[in-house]
Amino acid sequence: MEKLGIIGIGMTKFGKLSNESLIDLGRKACLSAIHDAGISPLHVDAAYCGNGLASQLFGASTIGQSIFWELGLKGIPVINVENACTSGSTAFHEACLSILAGVHDIVLVVGVEKMYEAQVGMLSSGTAEIEPGLGFLVPVTFALRAKAHMDKYGTTPEQLAMVAVKNHYHGSLNPLAQYQNILTVDEVLQSPMIVDPLTRLNCCPIGDGAAAIIICRGNMVARFTSSPIWVIASILGSGLYNNPPILEHWVLDYEKSKKAYEQAGCGPDDIDVAEIHDAFTIAEIMHYEGLGFCAEGEGGLLLESGGTTIGGRIPVNTSGGLLAKGHPVGATGVAQLIEITMQLRGQCGKRQVKGAQLGLAHCMGGDKHGDTKSITIHILAK
């Protein structure tokens, strides 16, 4: 596809940010991205806001207009996007399409969420579907996937725990991560059980935070930067909802990553660094396989070998991932893209992947009939 350049990024710290409102967080991330790009807000032709839960938690809507008004962005198209965990990365995808369609030249994307102050049961999964009412809640679905993967491939509880250990180590190197503490396998295994075999430290936390990116039409990038990061693949899909459901892997991972690699003109072996959806530890192991980083059933072995740790063959979730960096739902997909951008720019300090030229950001959102409701895959190049 035509190249699109990322010319600005900005992000708040993730965590319990009680003194900052949803709008405050979004504004700060956007201002940081605008400053990083070295542009005026008047350069922005359109703006997209990804938010997953504000309407449910606070009864709030049209979040984007409120954020962008504080930046002086008025009279431009503002699009609000809700797509569960992929709300931010879906907004990014739609922003890319608007440029490729020739409608806009420079687009601002923000993902924002505030979850700590909400007095709502976060694991209710809503009332619009029959599955949550029958107890098929999100942690349950991932626990069933873990059991299926363990039964078929021999994946162990210790390997699940190693995902959390790795990602907390990476998070300890990231000043914007929600958790910067180092864990041991025993600490993960001995934390309170949520749904067998997933203990609390096998599960991502809730959080507050915002992340913003500015995208520019390729032939205009040189006006703003001599070293952009290029978007060379952008894929969005939704579930297949097989009956009976396939639990030991996501078919969508295989199908959509194949399309992303074809669009980018590369393969999984060419990826230098990846951010993937690790809401629960089993998910990261399964995504290794679905994205082609290893053969099906060998995700646990790849992890155990150190291949996905910084310094390994394919470092994954160098930011700390959802498990340590945090998971303010609407911000997550954009934050993943920011981590990849920073890695390709060489700006990650102690967690820098040496020589990174090509990075992948993968996110999944929602659950229905044992499948995901949305998936995004983006590939970025230096």
Tokens of 364: 């999944």
Pairwise CA distance, residues 169 & 113, whole Å: 25
User: How many CA within 13 A on the CB side of residue 330?
Assistant: 32
Both tokens assigned to 233: 């693949």
Note whether 242 and 251 are within 8 A (CB). yes
Catalytic site positions: 85, 327
CB 321 within 8 A of CB 170: yes
User: Cα separation of 272 and 303, whole Å?
Assistant: 16
Please tell me the distance from the alpha carbon of residue 305 to that of residue 296, in angstroms, as a whole number: 16
Separation between Cα atoms, residue 24 and residue 367, nearest integer Å: 30
Distance between CA 242 and CA 248 in Å, rounded?
13
Of the candidates 305, 369, 371, 333, which has an alpha carbon nearest to the alpha carbon of residue 96?
333
CA gap 278, 348 in Å, rounded: 20
> DSSP letter at 270?
G
Among residues 245, 235, 243, 238, the alpha carbon closest in space to that of 360 is found at 235
CA distance 346 to 325: 19
CA angle at 320 for the pair 214 and 300, rounded to the nearest 5°: 120
3-state SS assignment for residue 98: helix
Q: What is the Cα Rg of the chain in Å?
A: 19
Q: Give the pair of three-digit tokens for residue 259.
A: 């399309």
Give start and end residues of each alpha helix (H) in 184-308: 185-190, 251-264, 281-290, 299-304
Residues in the chain: 382
How is residue 174 annotated by DSSP?
A: -
